[in-house]
Structures are given as C-alpha cells and as structure tokens.
Structure 1
C-alpha cells in the first residue's frame, strides 16, 4: 500500500473529508453516503454536512459536538446565524443581514391543524381546527372543525378550543373538501399535465392529512419534519420540533405558552420551506445540479469498480446523487 501523503489525500472524501486507507473503501463510502452539492456546506472549509444541525455543530453554533476552531472563529466573526453563510467581511455580513429574505412567491400552500383528544382517555388526536395559508402568509381557509368522534379532552391550555367553538362547525369531510379544492387549484387531478396542483407544506404532514382523512401525492409534499437538512444529526435522522426549527433557522419563537394558533404553525413551516428553497446549490461548473432519476447506486455500479477507483475524489463527488428531492429545485 502506498503510504505517501499524495496517496493518503487521494483517499479523502471530497465532501465530508473522511480519510480511507484504500481507494475501494472510498468508492464504497460514496456509494452509500449519498453526498451531493445539495448538502449544507461550510463556507470556510467547504465540508459537506448531512443536516443544518451538523453544520451548526461544525461552526461552533450548536451544543452537541465540538467544532472546527478555524471555521468556528470565521463564523463567529462574519457568519449569518440563520442561513449559516460565512462572509469575508463584517460589512458584507451587515449587507446580507439587511437583505436576508425569503425567496419569491410561488404555488405552495401550508397546512396546519390543531388536535383535541378523543377516546376514553383523551389521547386520540382528532382534528378540531384547520388553517391553510399561501406563500404570502395570507389565509386561504381557516375554520374550526367538528370531529367525527366525541371529544373527551379539549386541551384548552394549548388549543384554546371550547365546546361552543365546535357547535355548527363544518364537519371533517367538509373541511377536507375545502382543503382539497385549494390544493387542486382548479385541476381535476393532482397529476394533471398542466401541473397546477399546489405544493403542500407543513410540519408532520402525514399526521395532519390523516386527521383530515386525506391523501396527497408524495411528489407534491414538502414536510419540514422529514426534510433531511432540517432533521437531527444522530445515528439515524430524527425530526426536530417546529418550535426548534423556527428558533434556529428563522430567529424567532413560536408556541411559547398559552394558546397555539394553527396560523402560526403554517407561517413558520412556510418560512422554513422558503428558506430551504432559496438556498443556492451549485454544481462544479457553476450550474444547478440537474435533478435526474439516476440514483447513486446506478452511478456507482459494481461492474465499474476498477474505473471508479481510478477517479479522483472530486470526480466521484460529481457523480454522487442525493437520496432526497432538494427543495432548491422547486425554484427553477
């Protein structure tokens, strides 16, 4: 085995900088890691991180892992605490902070539901309030909802819902139809060739959709609870709370006490989506990386092993594909 410094650096992953003794180990790492130019990256050293939490830790802005001192110092001096971009000067940072805005409006809407308790012990979540907002944070639909089963716990301390709010309210089925009409956006099907059906944003969308008795196509859902860059960094990705994401990525607090309005949750989820969508992910040649159907497994087939082992780490990274649909592609 070649122990020279050149050989050692050649076996370093161009994304996460992990070192490997043998080139075939680096190829296997690239095959399984799904590194891509859509991952959050350090603006100082260029290291790719699996999530924004991991990038915060790397920059010394988190609390769970030690940071890289040089990157942490640069971030502390000229880094934006919201989008985690590092700027060369303090004046550039000030100019950015004054204009650190969300991306332009589009066809997405955000859904938020408030649940009350059903069942004998009040632990069964049933929808009692629903809200839908557009990208400009205007309310498209907001209503109390009459649950399909008796309510045994109104959870008033957080929901603010009382029995009188649900008397005469639309049924869950009626509310579901209103939400569907908004999402279809004049189409007869979510799969119409015109593509006018709206993107649905939310936090824990499956839970809210189940409560409304709805299905929605996976390719039109944008869930901040399951989007990998917004998830916790651990042995396996786990969801962060909407409250935590709003504080860490948007810089303000929600759900701090008292009654929680679904509008606040909708707005927070929409702002998170727009911030993620606005992130610029450039390929090696300066263009956005195309979103194609080729998976990393297809890009690194076993029959190409010898050819792959002769490639540079940068060439391997250029071939690698993410294992999720990056939201920056929604802005194309």
Structure 2
C-alpha cells in the first residue's frame, strides 16, 4: 500500500484560501497576486475553503465530486438554498422554512398586481426607500419580431411593495405580443402609459432629486437599483443610471457559474406567463440574502483601493516569499464590490 506524506515544504506552499498546493513559493505568490482571495468569497462553513462562486461552493458540498467529509456533514445540517451550515437538523428545518426564494405570497400578490396602473412614486411613504427592484416584460417589434420592446414595467421596494407598475405603450409598432410568456394582449397597450412618461417617472424616482452627475455610491439620495439583466431593461426604457448604483444578479461574481458566464433567473415563478412583479420579488430576495452576509470588516475592502494597490506588487516579491500563506491571505483583497458593504451604509 502506497502512503504519500506531504512534505512540510509543500504544505508551506498551500494556499490558505482555496487550498491549492504549489511546488515553489514564488508560484504561490503569483497565485495570490491574481486570485484576489478575500473574506467576501463564498466559504465552506465546514472546512473554510474559499470558492469563487456559490456554484463552485455547491459543487464542493454536493457534487459531482464533493469533499466527502464536508458532504457528510452538509447532508444532515446544510441548507440546500443558501448553503449555510446549521447547528442541528432541527435548526436546519426552522431555517429552511424562511430561506426559500419563492413562496405563496409572491405569486398571490403578483396576480393582484395585474389589475392595472399602480403609481406610488409621489407617495410620502416611499421617501425613505433606499433599495428598489426593477423588471420589465418585453413584446416583439420589427419585421421578424426579434426587437424587444418594453410593454410592462414594475418597480418594488425591499419589502416587496409595489412602487410603480404599468403597461407601457412602445414607440414602435408591436409585431408579436408573445402572449404565451407575457400574458399581454393588444387591448392592454391601447391606452397604456407612453414610454416617455414611464421613463421620466422611473428616472426621477431613482435619482430622488439628485442630479445624475452628482450621484455617488455612498451618502447620497439616489436609490440602489436591483434586477436581473438590468442593462437590457434600462435600455428598453431608455433610462440612464450610474453603474455604481446598480446591483445586477446576472453580473454579480459570487452568483456566476464562472468568472465569464452569467447565471440565469430560473425559479419556480418562471413557468408559463411571467409577471415582472414576481421577477422583482425574486431578485430583491436574492439581493437581500447576499447583502445580509456577515463578512470581516475591513477599512479598505477592495483591491482597487489605493492603500491596497501595492500589496502584491512585483517589486515586493522577496518580501512576499518570506510571508506565510495566512499572512498573504490577510493582505489580499477582493476585486469586486461585495453587496454586504451596502448594509454598512444603511
């Protein structure tokens, strides 16, 4: 029987975050220079391994080739929705009852939401709203019906209350109403709110009295906008909004399958006719879950912060090679803005 014992040198060159091993310390330094490991990465609650996304964390815990020790514990105490590890099977049952993204209430409210125009953008109760979710439903335009035209829009707050909802009259003729998925008929758009009016209402509500050029990520009046594939929705509405205020679940690295492949919004709510209210609820719940994660508080949490730019500079190579993997991990920072940082500004 062949027993292989790891040398102390190999163990010393083992990444303290993802546990990859390197033959030479300089290879580990180069790995740390490009991997951007940080406290904001999805981390296994059992072995503490860092993963690039929740998709890779799920594979680590469930399969197809999971770490066996982690899989055994996760099978009895792990939440299949958020991948958290609970203290006991009973605690897991209590947790899962409130952890699911979709539920009866969302579908019920969505059906009531179809009744017509809802406009609370001027309502005083929305003035303190800091986060809103947006979703649109598209019909087809152009000679081949491949042009997406916004025909219905919904805007909700973080408590899933409708702020604004309306059918939208496109600027171009509709050639395919896509009824099977939109539920929209020609008569719904005949007297619908014109696109320009919808555009102004949404733009004004998002900016919240702040000039576009003055909007900043912290300390301003403008609202955080949540959605899935928001570039497409905003383009169809012809609404401009700064990227620093957008939280797109299709582009958020921890939710992506790889660094270049977007995730898709596939929940039970997206069967048959899809209502934009239900899409808003799904993305808002996902955003709130990501925002509520508790991560280590750092004064300068991003690799792009000026104080961190030289942490792994090539001219520090000799100094870095004398560090332990744990010390290098301590110096490393994330290359994306973690949504948990939003909760510290609210």
Which TM bucket (shorter chain)? 0.7 to 0.9
SS at match of 2:169: coil
Determine which of 46, 49, 55 is the counterpart of 1:47: 49
**Candidates 276, 300, 312, aligned match of 2:290:** 276
Equivalent residue for 2:22, pick from 20, 23, 30: 20
Alignment of structure 1 residues 1-332 onto 2, 5 Å: 5-60=7-62, 62=63, 65-97=64-96, 100=99, 107-189=130-212, 191-192=214-215, 194-233=219-258, 236-243=259-266, 247=267, 253-257=268-272, 259-282=273-296, 287-288=297-298, 290-292=300-302, 293-294=305-306, 298-332=310-344
Displacement of 1:296 in angstroms is 6.5
* Structure 2: 5+ residue stretches without partners: 102-127
Contact 1:30 1:316 survives alignment (8 Å): yes
CA pair 10-230 structure 1, distance change in 2 beyond 3 A: same
* Pairwise CA distance, 1:5: 2.0
| SS across alignment from 1:279 | coil
* CA 320–295 in structure 1, closer or farther in 2 if over 3 Å, else same: farther
Map Cα deviations across residues 262-302 of structure 1 (whole Å, 9 max, x no partner).
000011010000000011112xxxx4564351486532001
- Closer/same/farther in 2, CA of residues 264 and 93 from structure 1, 3 Å limit: same
TM-score (norm: length of structure 2):
0.84
For 2:271 and 2:341, the matched residues in 1 are separated by 33
Distance in 2, matches of 1:222 and 1:7, equals 43
Aligned equivalents of 1:52 and 1:26: distance in 2? 24
Change (3 A) 1:56 1:296: farther
Normalising by structure 1, report the TM-score. Answer: 0.88
> Once the two structures are superposed, what CA deviation does each residue of 1:135-187 show, in whole Å capped at 9, x if it has no partner?
01011110111111111111011001111111121221111111112112233
| Deviation at residue 91 of structure 1 after TM alignment | 3.6
Change in Cα spacing, 1:295 to 1:271, as seen in structure 2 (3 Å) is farther
Deviations 1:50-72 (A, max 9, x none): 11111111001x5xx41111101
